Structure 1
Amino acid sequence: MSFIFCAARFGRAARQKPLVSLCVPVYGAEGLIGRFFESVLQQTDSPPVETIVVNDGSPGTKDLGRIVKTYTKRFKERALPLVFLEHGKNLGTLEARRTAVIAASGEYIAFADPDDELPSSALRILYETSSASSADIVHGAGTVCGMEGEPDARVAAFAQRAQNVYDGVLTGDEILRTYIVEHSYSSFVWGKLFKTDLVQKAYGEIPFTYCTMAEDMLLYFFIALYAGTYVGIRDAVYNYRINTGISSRRKIADLAAWQKVCSASSVFTIILSYLDEHPDVGSDIREAVKALGRAYYADNLKQLEVCVDPSLKAEAKALLGEWWGMEIVP
């Protein structure tokens, strides 16, 4: 795509406020973010977009800063703002995204992880669908790539989730209910385009939370709660690379890493507290949330058995009980 062609379609990008804010939290993926940046630069017929990178206290801060500096020059040549923000310490994915959302100046927000990529037409498809429908949420499909040695069954299972899109239009209460009760589409926040004010409203319901697991579910619950219109499309708009991020099935050799796994419990504590205060949302919603909480707890138990170093298992089991408590897991 040439800059001249993009300008003819969307106006002079250098002088135009971004229409889409692409929010990218980074922790420990410095070696992969260049590939993501390349996918942003290769977007065809894209609306004016700003990319907001939040360094969430990453151990590779120096390398990340150097990479961002290099790409800032290339983005500037294409009139694409690249904003770099930093946390002094690791606050978790949920809060890194909050920082990006606060800084966003676009009418729409898209989320991405730095170890993934965007297909070349992703932003155009999402934006044109949202613009034509005035939808609060546009949801496209994702494709999944596994790392070498990753079991084919796990890649296939994740691919099924990434492609779980409701093919059509949902409105009002059915947006949340169709997701959380009927499981008719996924809660991943990547692969979707949201109106910015909707995401900001959702974050207004979420207290500061250290969370690196199930954080998509927490954020999307409140987005879906307040959304007026959802449009699902079958187009592939995201390329997800399994087993490169924090949620990967890796050996856990310290309790700090284990607490990140247990942080999924915070998601259900917050949602259930909200539902306690708003019983009008529906008992079926509450029961569905509790069922998901039990499933996450069961998965944590499996990770305790398979991933945690044997010398840490006793302490890890005690921490698991402290995090989850008895409200969700009787």
Structure 2
Amino acid sequence: MEPQISIIIPVYNTGKYLKKCLQSVIEQKIDEIEIIIVNDASTDDSIKIIKKFAAHDKRFTIIDKKKNEGVEAARLTGINSAIGTFLCFMDSDDWLPRNALRILLQHANKTEADIVVGHHTRVLDRFGLVKTVGKKFCMQPLILDYDSFMRNYYVNFFGVNIFPVSMCGKLYRRILINRSTINTHGYNFGEDLMFNIQVFPESKKTVLVPDLVYNYRYGGMTSKFNSQLIPSQLRMYKQKQEFAVRYHNDALNKFSRIELKNYLKTFIEMLLKFKGDEPSVVHKRQIAEVIATEEFVDLKNYYASQELQGFELALAKGDIDGMYMEIIAEYKKIKLLYKLKRLLSSIFN
């Protein structure tokens, strides 16, 4: 019998959190599921934990890869194996509220939606005690046809944060994924966003719901220096311009430029957080190399034609010291809060 939902979970060295993740799946209030675990050549005890769960639950399918190829490839492997009517993706260090899948499936069946998007909780500590719930993107279900979504919500993937860009906390009709052209890009940052940019325009009906359906564990790229942040964003910037052309929406380019500028600010902020509170010659050289790229030259030219102040003015002039001064002023305001979060994370994790 075809399962209603195929849950796809790539795993790589997350044995520390995996039991909580898998336990949350088997406790879902819906039985007609298949649980596809793609072990991406983990070197810790992840595969032992997976096999222990699978020994007691016939709904598990284990794909044990011998070579680590990254989360994009692991998810695609899971997609190609899935037979459920709907697909649901999880990260192996996160977990589901007990009724999450039932809520998503009920909305999907009631509205005949291709995609259902639910709300996330952000969790700071290992035990799930310290949580933050962001502002809800809707207070009641929003049923969006293709035109409504593309006109008002597709911009979500171009730097305008309406709902989470992650693949998690969503239900996708499998036939939708099968008819989409899913290309892997080798990203280790932003791979979820690129997947959704490709898939959401294929949806005839998308439903946003206010229900809490996913617990996201804070950490990973957000808690350490990410050397791939700028290279990934430069590639995405070009690809997003292509999608703006494909869907005849010039406004998307405007938001992509704002997003690229904000990622430069994030990069400089990361240098301050993780590489020292004062700008160094090496860091200034790194920034100079970034803003000399074709993408940032385009961005500087765009800003040069406008009345500007603050960071944007410094960027348009190529004034690295000016950009640093703007970021330092902002960083000092949040520095204490950031250090507190890191302390709590280190204690509880």
Aligned residues: 290
**Shift of residue 22, structure 1, vs aligned partner:** 0.8
CA displacement, residues 217-271 of structure 1 (integer Å, 9 cap, x when unaligned): 211112222211111222211112212xx22312x4xxxx623674344333322
Structure 2 Cα separation of the partners of residues 239 and 86 of structure 1: 27
Q: Pick one of 270, 287, 294 that aligns with 1:326.
A: 294
Structure 2 Cα separation of the partners of residues 137 and 104 of structure 1: 17
On the 8 A contact 1:165/1:186 being kept in 2, the answer is no
Match for residue 86 of structure 1? 65
Match for residue 17 of structure 2? 32
Match for residue 189 of structure 2? 213
Structure 1 Cα separation of the partners of residues 284 and 63 of structure 2: 36
Which amino acid in 2 is paired with 1:48? Answer: E
**Shift of residue 186, structure 1, vs aligned partner:** 2.8
Which amino acid in 2 is paired with 1:132? Answer: K
Tell me whether 312-321 or 213-222 shows the greater mean CA deviation.
312-321
Q: Pick one of 242, 249, 254 that aligns with 1:273.
A: 242
**Shift of residue 317, structure 1, vs aligned partner:** 6.1
* TM-score between the two structures when normalised by the length of structure 2: 0.72
Q: Pick one of 255, 280, 290 that aligns with 2:257.
A: 290
1:231 aligns with 2:198: no
Distance 1:258 1:142, change over 3 A: same
Q: Structure 2 regions of 5+ residues with no counterpart?
A: 301-349
Q: Pick one of 19, 28, 33 that aligns with 1:49.
A: 33
Match for residue 113 of structure 1? 91
1:96 aligns with 2:80: no
1:179 aligns with 2:153: yes
1:23 aligns with 2:8: yes
Match for residue 13 of structure 1? none
1:164 aligns with 2:137: yes
CA displacement, residues 19-43 of structure 1 (integer Å, 9 cap, x when unaligned): 2111112233222111111111111
Distance 1:233 1:85, change over 3 A: same
Structure 1 Cα separation of the partners of residues 291 and 25 of structure 2: 38
Tell me whether 24-33 or 262-271 shows the greater mean CA deviation.
262-271
Question: What is the RMSD computed on CA atoms of the aligned residues?
Answer: 3.2
CA displacement, residues 108-158 of structure 1 (integer Å, 9 cap, x when unaligned): 11111111111111111111211121101111112222127xxx8xx64xx
Identity %: 22
Match for residue 103 of structure 2? 125
CA displacement, residues 58-117 of structure 1 (integer Å, 9 cap, x when unaligned): 443xx11111111111222xxx2333242612x333332222212221111111111111
Distance 1:50 1:314, change over 3 A: farther
Distance 1:290 1:93, change over 3 A: farther
Tell me whether 80-89 or 219-228 shows the greater mean CA deviation.
80-89
Structure 2 Cα separation of the partners of residues 95 and 209 of structure 1: 9
* 3-state DSSP of counterpart to 1:143: strand
Match for residue 4 of structure 1? none
Which amino acid in 1 is paired with 2:10? Answer: P
Alignment of 1:293-312 (within 5 A): 293-308=260-275
CA displacement, residues 297-330 of structure 1 (integer Å, 9 cap, x when unaligned): 32123223322479x9938964994699332543
Structure 1 Cα separation of the partners of residues 40 and 49 of structure 2: 15
Distance 1:324 1:260, change over 3 A: farther
* 3-state DSSP of counterpart to 1:247: helix
